[in-house]
Structure 1
Amino acid sequence: MAGQTTLRLRKIWFQVHKWIGIALAVLIIPISLTGSALVWHDALDGALNPERRATSPATLPASAYEAAARKALAPGETLASIAFPDGKGAVVATATRAPAPGGGRPVRTQIYLDPASGAVVDRASSNEGLVHVFHVLHGSLMVPGVGRQIVGWIGVFMLLSSLTGLWLWWPVTGSVSRGFRWKRQPTTSANLHHLTGFWIAIPLAMLSFTGAWISFPAFFAQISGDPAGPSPAERMRRMAAVPAAETRIDVDVARVLAERFANGPLATITWPAGKEPKWKVAFRGPGGIAEVSVDDATGKASPPKPPQPETTARLMRRLHDGTGMGAIWQAIIFAGGIIPALLAVTGIMMWLRTRRWRGEVARRQAANRAVPAE
């Protein structure tokens, strides 16, 4: 009786697993492949834009980079921040402009500066370039408004698919070692599907779960107890804040005033914006980025806030994209993006082969019924 129940469950899970793969393959493949590419975001960006790679450290005063960036601003743009490389690389100035009357996400422009001379080596909008396309495709499938939620639900279905796949991999009879045999199935595609599916099942379940968490932060915050972050409207308001065109103290003075609280090399300098006329000067310290604020009116520097414990949401994002997780974990995530695409293709091949086989069987049975008995 127990064996019959197991077989019935197996048939149910097989149907769930099969139709998730078939119905969502066209969406799973681009999400998976772009996720693999974005594991090494910086390396990919450097390979696509070699002019942005610099071999010398940043040695000029911040005002020199500011002056060079301002010369490259387009009409209506205001300088918002300057980011300094961690070691070697281009200095990146970010410019913004007032949002359009119809609203929408503000567009920012990155101006890449040679760290040795301050010369402009490249300029790119935040909404252009292949890496940007990968980010949007992976995060929202380029569907405005509801794209993020669509990706989140795909993550839920992929989690279910990975767990049902692990159930289906488990041999019905014999020892577990049977599941590791290459010739468990009669075709190469089926063997690839079974073996690669087993080895990636747990990492894929983790990536699917963390992806759903990222897509539905408000829902999971209620479960984890994470403090509520800013609302979407508040985030848009902050992003739309226009940096001050004129300041009372210049960028070099702001840096000097902030250095009394420095715990490492300079990371970024952000111009005063919005209702708070304060410079934000960030330093790379042993415990991460520490941000010092400098009042533009008084020149008073405020020490950085004590580091806060990592939230569950932040941990989920690091697990998902591999930030600060080491090369081995990043390699696992990379495989976790490549292999689902392979599983989708091999799964469809198996389904088509089964349909052809069933069609041939049905035709033979129909032909046999058509032959009159003697």
Structure 2
Amino acid sequence: MTKIGLRNTWFQVHKWIGLALAILIIPLCVTGAALVWDEALDHVVNPQRYAVGNGPALTPDQLATAAQAAVGTAKIATIKLPAESGAPAIASTGPMPSKTQGPAARTNVYLDPATGKVLDVANSRSGLIMTMHMIHGTMLIPVWGRPIVGWIGVAMLFSCFTGIWLWWPTVGKWMRGLRWRRHRNLDTNLHHLFGFWIAVPLFVLSLTGAWISFPTFFGPLVGENARPMGFSAERAAMNKAQPLGTTRMPLATAEAAALAKQPGSVTQIAWPTDYKAIWQFTIKPAKGKPATLAVDDASGIASIAPDANRGQAGIARLMRQIHDGTGMGIVWQAIIFLGGLLPAILAITGVIMWWRARGWKAELKAKQKARASAA
């Protein structure tokens, strides 16, 4: 195949990937960009959750009592204590029965850590931010949503590769490709320039997105556990487990046992359930990484719990961090924010370019037909 023929082939691949996925790419990318700073967005959307007072925090036992009063007969299953000033404590009930894809719905109670005042009560699977998470993760499509999103990521990998091929100038040095006015139309210039600058970050985001969607394929390639993240039999059972109606040990006693084993500050607590009758405490020591302590509800014996992220170790965990920007710093977060917005612009400008091309091709055919008739 000649160089021109190969270029035309890549052009067709690039064009039809863009046209076929344009409607899906826009909501997928825009929600991904917004979710880079989902916590800041939650401050804007739900300011009542962050109207906390000053002063020392109540004990976890006191906060749990306040949360329990807000949910009635439902049982509190976890409580997350604020890691910084200005943040609420968040208590969650056990999972509600559900047939939908993903984690089961729970009732979240937002508390002022200083007073125990209930700031908000909400379903964990409702609200703008959760809807954006579901759009980005499954496109709101039951069962097949996650694989569809994964295949969109695979298609975007090819789009990045073919886009760079088509961006590369056919004559002269590659620096010519950085010129603004490569075409008389604004949308075409935007497509060429934005496509170049976002190609590498978009390739990384597409690869990590596909990795998250298809861990059983990518995991073995790097010698990691092929088990899908979050979908093991144990995790499925834990997701359905209900907190015990009555525990043998009070929360304060279990907390003291955990802190005796691992001194530090408690950041999260999980109640004993009908699946495992143990308390779990996430404790942040003065130095080093946080540890999870398991306290047997019957005996009160505390022990270091196995790593809760053992199914997401190594490369798989890194891929998720890269994809959502968690702990990756403001520079990378800004890059992936643009990596979410610019593909939406590329999709729109690509459709405009295709539609314009249809017009001038139809006009050209009409002129050729008129000339043939005249001859």
TM-score interval for Structure 1 and Structure 2 normalised by the shorter chain: over 0.9
Deviation at 1:208, TM superposition (A): 0.3
Between 1:245-254 and 1:134-143, the stretch displaced more is 245-254
For 1:264 and 1:327, locate their aligned partners in 2 and report how far apart those are by CA, in whole Å.
28
SS of 2:152's partner is helix
1:11 aligns with: 8
| 1:289 match | 290
Q: Partner letter of residue 338 of structure 1?
A: L
Q: Secondary structure at the match of 2:170?
A: coil
Tell me what 1:334 maps to.
337
Structure 2 gaps of 5+ residues are: none
Give the aligned partner of residue 141 of structure 2. Answer: 143
Map residues 184-333 of structure 1 onto 2, 5 A cutoff.
Answer: 184-229=182-227, 231-262=231-262, 264-285=264-285, 286-305=287-306, 310-333=313-336
Specify the alignment match of 2:49 in structure 1: 52
Q: 2:33 aligns with which of 32, 36, 57?
A: 36
Conservation of the 8 A alpha-carbon contact between 2:238 and 2:275 = no
Identify if the C-alpha distance between structure 1 residues 117 and 301 changes in structure 2 by more than 3 Å, giving closer, same or farther.
same
Unpaired stretches in structure 1, ≥5 consecutive residues: none
Instruction: Say which SS state the counterpart of residue 184 (structure 1) adopts.
Output: coil
Once the two structures are TM-superposed, the CA of residue 256 in structure 1 deviates from its matched residue by 1.4
| Contact 1:58-1:91 at 8 Å conserved across structures | no
Q: Secondary structure at the match of 1:72?
A: helix
What CA distance in whole angstroms lies between the structure 1 residues aligned with 2:171 and 2:89?
A: 62
Structure 1 window deviating more from structure 2 (250-259 vs 22-31): it is 250-259
Q: Tell me which moved more, 254-263 or 189-198.
A: 254-263
- Counterpart-to-counterpart distance in 2, 1:38 and 1:231: 23
Please, what TM-score do these two structures have when normalized by structure 1? 0.93
Change (3 A) 1:355 1:103: closer
**Separation in 2, partners of 1:139, 1:247:** 36
Alpha carbons 1:57, 1:87 under 8 Å: kept: no
- Alpha-carbon separation, structure 2, partners of 1:55 and 1:30: 37
CA contact (8 A) 2:109 2:122 kept: yes
Contact 1:98/1:242 (8 A) holds in 2: no
CA drift at 1:241 = 0.6
- Per-residue Cα deviation, 1:305-348 (whole angstroms, up to 9, x for no partner): 57979421101000100000000000011010000000000011
* Corresponding letter in the other structure for 1:126: S
Taking the aligned partners of 1:73 and 1:300, their CA distance within structure 2 comes to 30
Give SS of 2:300's match.
coil
What is the alpha-carbon distance in structure 1 between the residues aligned to residue 344 and residue 55 of structure 2? 40
Could you say what secondary structure the match of 1:182 adopts? coil
Q: Identity, % of aligned pairs?
A: 46
Contact 1:109-1:126 within 8 A present in 2 as well: yes
SS in 1 for 2:57: coil
- Give the Cα–Cα distance (whole angstroms) in 1 for the partners of residues 165 and 134 of structure 2: 33
Give the structure-2-normalised TM-score. 0.93
Secondary structure of the structure 2 residue equivalent to 1:123? strand
Give the aligned CA root-mean-square deviation in angstroms: 2.0
CA contact (8 A) 2:94 2:241 kept: no
**3-state SS of paired residue (2:328):** coil
Give the corresponding residue for 2:91: 93
Which of 354, 357, 360 is the aligned partner of 1:351?
Answer: 354
